[in-house]
Structure 1
Amino acid sequence: MEHLEHRQKVTIMIAIMAAMLFAALNQTIVGTALPVIVADIGGMDYFSWVFTIYMLTTSLTAILVGKLSDTYGRKPFILVGIGVFIVGALLCGTSVNIYQLIIYRGIQGFGGGMIMSTAFTAIGDLFPPRERGRWQGLMASVFGLSSVFGPTLGGYIVDTFKWNWVFWVFLPFGIVAFIMIYKMFPNIKSDEKTTVDYLGAIILASTITPLLLAFSWAGETYAWDSAVIIGLFSWSVVALSVFVYVEQRAKNPVIPLHLFKNSIFTISNVSGLLMGMGMFGAIMYMPFFIQGVMGISATKSGFVMMSMMLSMVITSTVGGQLITKTGRYKVFAIAGLLIMGIGMFSMSQMNVDTTLIGAVRNLMIVGLGLGLSFPVLTLTVQNAVDYKYLGVATSASQFFRQAGGTIGVSIMGAIMNRIMTNEMQSLSISSGQTSQLDTVKAIEDPQVLMDPDKINQIKETVPNEMLPVFNQVIDKVQIVLSTALGGSFLFGTFVLGVALVLILFLKEIPLRMTNKTDEESANENTHEGNVQESEATV
């Protein structure tokens, strides 16, 4: 699609970004609205599945659609993805119980996975690698903007209107994007006649599903050493072995394993996984510090977190422009991971005396680094593989980043809980009064610190003469939570440090000025030379 006029390319990209914003906002807006939704339809014991099922279906669909779109073109999948997502959103708003909501969110996930996979790949269809930097940066800014406005908008909607509108308010965006893409997006199919690797797809799903479930449940629903978690990990290992065996013999593998022999492909995806661990860990656990340690309300906490995402939007946009202008990208990945690591380390050093300005500063540093590195890793993968593998390479990049988020949140949560448990035990042992021990047990859950109403309810049961003791315990528990979160952020720093070391070994090859590979360009030049030679002879 490089031959299209620039105006048509820009119009198509606006439609794609509208579809991405539609999907991303529907993902981020649910978080603040879910407590109200659950209060209305019930199912508190199953509310985590609203997120888990979406994550599963999105990840599975994204990795599978990548290869299929290389064969059948992007247009059918992005249109089907938008259509399925619209239907899922419409159904979510009609849910009367938690089970329906979970099923409908799963449907949304299938559509979201198609949109995510094909949207980033479409950039590669429309523009050569040298021009993709600015568009990758703009796509990253779409995620940042959805993370900024989604939670706040979700809270406003449930406070002002019925919660159903959380799922319905953006439906017009999806419909407009569908019409624009249908009319303007050309569909280019592969000329090769190939078969679909159904067996590989089934085995891949059997590998990914238990793995993501294990990391989602470990430390929360089940203990890390429980039979369920060990069984899920064991199943994934066996399924992965079978998958490798099958893919080595498949005529048209769903994930060509030879791509992993490409050091750029492998280093970029492993680095993306590690970056995802740090990114999602910061997004997930920084609110614990803001609300639990600093005592800031949930609403204000959302505004504090905006500082991270807004700084990400700025650097992803500027960084993408600079990549396109200079043709260099490795330096931006190195700088981004270094800055992000510094910000994460600064977060690990925070304590109960940290000011709001200090917390915002650290979040901005993480966001600045994230914005620089976020667009690069997808670009390096796309630039390193043949055009016929563009879809599967891009979807693999997206999957590794999202899987890294799931893994990172789980591990950092386990670290936080372990430190919290150890610190609370030492706190209880050092407490000499029985009444204080009882109070410690009542507020030892860090979640309580983020619920002022819950703390006030407990405080009302405490005799007046024990209020100083109660306040002292609250202070000590805040210190414990701060220490526990510091350990989690220190792990995030280590992970980002490993990613930085890996990026140093990333081979930087020139960004191609065309989607044609060097071999294709050479063959084309040879053909033109032969034609000219023949004409000269005649």
Structure 2
Amino acid sequence: MEHLEQRQKVTIMIAIMAAMLFAALNQTIIGTALPIIVADIGGMKYFNWVFTIYMLASSITAILVGKLSDTYGRKVFILTGIGVFIVASLLCGLSANIYQLIIFRAIQGLGGGMIISTSFTAIGDLFPPRERGRWQGMMGSVFGLASVFGPTFGGYIVDTWQWNWVFWVFLPFGFVAFIMIWKMFPNPEQNEKQSVDFLGAILLTLTIIPLLLAFSWAGQNFAWSSPIIIGLFTWSIIGLAAFIVVERRVENPVIPLHLFKNSIFSISNMAGLLMGMGMFGAIMYMPFFIQGVLGISATQTGFIMMSMMLSMVLTSTIGGQLITRTGRYKIFAIAGLLIMAGGMYSMSLMSVDTTVTGVVRNLVFVGLGLGLTFPVLTLTVQNAVEHQYLGVSTSASQFFRQAGGTMGVSIMGSIMNMIMGRKMANVSAANDFEETSELQDPQVLMDPNQISSLAETSKVPSAQFEQMIFSMREVLSQSLNGSFLFGTFILLGAWVLILFLKEIPLRMTNQPAKKEEKISS
């Protein structure tokens, strides 16, 4: 599609961005709404799975679809993804408990993985690497805009309507995106059909799932040294070993292992994994600080989170334009990750005395750094491989970023719950909270109405009740501090990796790269 007229390329990109907007809105809107949803249907112990299962499902789907789209074209997969996403969104709004919501979010993740993987790959089909920076930046801006309006609108919905509408309100966007892709996206060229590496995909799934479960349960449900945690890690290692053996022998592997011989491919993906851990951790856990610690409503939380995403849109757009003009990209990733790490460290210092201005300042720093880094890591991978590997390399980049988000949210959730459990036990013992069992769970902080109801019905004197609420806010704040500090070290690790990234010229065409730039097989 590189040789299409510019007007037709722009029209196709509008359709792709419409599909991305639909998926991104449904993904970001849940952030500020989740505390209220959990307060209604219960299951705070499993709240991180609402996010984690989506990331896991989309990661596995993206990596398989990336390879398949290299053979069968992008159009069929992006249309299928939109259709699955629409059905799953409808079902999410009908969830009666946390378990149903988790299941339906998994189905939603399958559709989301198809949409995101094929969308970013299509940019590589339409434009050569030198021109992709601008469009990668615009795609980042689409996600950023969705992240601006999604949380804000999500907070407004749960404050004024039923939370179910969080999943239903953007369904019309899905139908519009489906029609636009159907009409505008060109049909794929007939390529030689290849066998599908289903065994490799299954083994990859069997590697990731036990690893995720181990990180989610360790320190919360089971000790790190418990047989079940050790068993899960062992299972994951065995699955990875089997996956490598299979990928070396099959004719058409789901992830060609020779790609990892390219240092640009490997370093970019590892940095993307670490960036995902920090990025999604900030997006998921800041609303818990704003609502639970500061006592701000879900709607206002959305407006506060908007500062992070607006700054991301700004630097993503500007950074993408500068990459296209200058052909340089490494400096943007170096600066972006360092700024993100600084913002995350500032988050780890927040307390019950932190002002809204302080929160906004920290979010702006994270957003500025994220916007500079976001377009780079996919671009570096696409530029380092031959066009025949465009789909699988792009999906691998998305996979590592999504997998990082899955692991990061799980680990940060485990850290938060571990610290919270220990400190809450100390606070309860010191203040004799046993008379009011409801105030032994910081979950009540997420719902102002529940706090007001408890204040009216509690037999505890009002002064003591206020002290209990304040103590729980302190516990939640300190627990989140530990999670954000972990995110700081993770982002610094990504920054160190980027320092070793080799910067090669951005190609001016999608034709095969020069010999010295090819990935050796």
Check whether TM > 0.5.
Answer: yes
The aligned residue for residue 132 of structure 1 is 132
Q: Return the offset for 1:447.
A: 2.5
The one-letter amino acid of 1:438's match is E
The aligned residue for residue 271 of structure 2 is 271
Moved more, 391-400 or 413-422: 413-422
Q: Return the offset for 1:42.
A: 9.2
Moved more, 403-412 or 266-275: 403-412
In the aligned structure 1, how far is the partner of 2:441 from the partner of 2:505?
Answer: 52
The aligned residue for residue 495 of structure 2 is 500
- Is 1:511 aligned to 2:509, yes or no? no
The one-letter amino acid of 1:151's match is P
In the aligned structure 2, how far is the partner of 1:197 from the partner of 1:325?
Answer: 40
Counterpart secondary structure, 1:497? helix
After superposition, what is the alpha-carbon deviation per residue over 1:154-205, rounded to whole angstroms, capped at 9, x for unaligned? 4545666666654444333333333332333234457445322222122222
2:434 aligned to 435, 438, 448, which one?
A: 438
Q: Return the offset for 1:64.
A: 0.5
Question: Is 1:138–1:316's contact at 8 Å kept on the other side of the alignment?
Answer: yes
Question: Is 1:52–1:216's contact at 8 Å kept on the other side of the alignment?
Answer: no
In the aligned structure 2, how far is the partner of 1:181 from the partner of 1:499?
Answer: 35
Moved more, 300-309 or 345-354: 345-354
In the aligned structure 2, how far is the partner of 1:362 from the partner of 1:127?
Answer: 35
Question: Is 1:443–1:449's contact at 8 Å kept on the other side of the alignment?
Answer: no
Point out where structure 1 has 5 or more consecutive residues left out of the alignment: 524-538
User: How does 1:170-209 map onto structure 2 within 5 Å?
Assistant: 170-189=170-189, 191-209=191-209
The aligned residue for residue 29 of structure 1 is 29
In the aligned structure 2, how far is the partner of 1:462 from the partner of 1:407?
Answer: 39
Q: Structure 1 residues 370 and 102, CA, compared in 2 at 3 Å: closer, same or farther?
A: closer
Aligned residues: 518
Q: Structure 1 residues 219 and 443, CA, compared in 2 at 3 Å: closer, same or farther?
A: farther
Question: Is 2:428–2:440's contact at 8 Å kept on the other side of the alignment?
Answer: no
In the aligned structure 2, how far is the partner of 1:441 from the partner of 1:97?
Answer: 22
The aligned residue for residue 363 of structure 1 is 363
Q: Return the offset for 1:55.
A: 3.0
In the aligned structure 2, how far is the partner of 1:520 from the partner of 1:256?
Answer: 19
In the aligned structure 2, how far is the partner of 1:457 from the partner of 1:184?
Answer: 54
In the aligned structure 2, how far is the partner of 1:448 from the partner of 1:87?
Answer: 32
User: How does 1:402-413 map onto structure 2 within 5 Å?
Assistant: 402-413=402-413
The aligned residue for residue 531 of structure 1 is none
TM-score scaled by structure 2? 0.89
In the aligned structure 2, how far is the partner of 1:391 from the partner of 1:369?
Answer: 27
Question: Is 1:216–1:406's contact at 8 Å kept on the other side of the alignment?
Answer: no
Identity %: 74
The aligned residue for residue 339 of structure 2 is 339
Moved more, 436-445 or 195-204: 436-445
Q: Structure 1 residues 520 and 174, CA, compared in 2 at 3 Å: closer, same or farther?
A: farther
The one-letter amino acid of 2:444's match is V
Q: Structure 1 residues 409 and 425, CA, compared in 2 at 3 Å: closer, same or farther?
A: same
Larger radius of gyration: 1
Counterpart secondary structure, 1:108? helix
Question: Is 1:121–1:391's contact at 8 Å kept on the other side of the alignment?
Answer: yes
In the aligned structure 2, how far is the partner of 1:219 from the partner of 1:485?
Answer: 16
The aligned residue for residue 449 of structure 1 is 445
Higher relative contact order (CA 8 A, sep 6+): 2
Q: Structure 1 residues 26 and 450, CA, compared in 2 at 3 Å: closer, same or farther?
A: closer
After superposition, what is the alpha-carbon deviation per residue over 1:352-405, rounded to whole angstroms, capped at 9, x for unaligned? 322111111111111111111011111111111111111111111111111111
User: How does 1:371-450 map onto structure 2 within 5 Å?
Assistant: 371-427=371-427, 431=430, 436-438=432-434, 443-450=439-446
User: How does 1:25-104 map onto structure 2 within 5 Å?
Assistant: 25-30=25-30, 50-90=50-90, 92=92, 104=104
The aligned residue for residue 534 of structure 1 is none
The one-letter amino acid of 2:309's match is M
The aligned residue for residue 243 of structure 2 is 243
In the aligned structure 2, how far is the partner of 1:274 from the partner of 1:66?
Answer: 21
Question: Is 1:31–1:151's contact at 8 Å kept on the other side of the alignment?
Answer: yes
User: How does 1:212-251 map onto structure 2 within 5 Å?
Assistant: 212-218=212-218, 224-251=224-251
Q: Return the offset for 1:7.
A: 0.8
Q: Structure 1 residues 190 and 294, CA, compared in 2 at 3 Å: closer, same or farther?
A: same
